[in-house]
Amino acid sequence: MNPEIAIDIFKTTIMFALWIVAPFLLTMLVIGLLTSLFQSVTSLQEQSLTFAPKLVAMSALSLLLAPWLLRTLSEFTINTISRMATLAH
């Protein structure tokens, strides 16, 4: 296997992982900023106030994005396995 091929596979895998995780990270960032702003404005420093909205948002986003996640992960897996045949040269 050429080092270029290994680097390309690694780069593709890292970019794919970032593509998959980005909606969850952005949602958690927005929810965290909104709850922090709410806590600053109201002077409520309850720990469950930061955890509960993130849990609800993560659950809802997981259900909403499940078809996209499954389709994208299966396409990536099929693509990666099909590329394995060309790596042996």
What would the pLDDT profile of 13-36 be if each residue is shown by its tens digit? 999 999 999 999 999 999 999 999
Per-residue pLDDT tens over the stretch 48-78: 888 899 999 999 999 999 999 999 999 999 9
- pLDDT number for residue 85: 75
Confidence of residue 1 (pLDDT cuts 50, 70, 90): low
pTM of the model: 0.79
**Range 30-37, long-range pairs (CB < 8 A, 24+ positions):** 31/57
The residue type of 2 is N
DSSP 88: T
Q: What H or E segment, with its residue span, contains residue 6?
A: helix 3-42
Structure tokens at 67: 């078809």
Structure tokens at 75: 């396409």
Cα–Cα distance, 76 to 67 (Å, whole number): 14
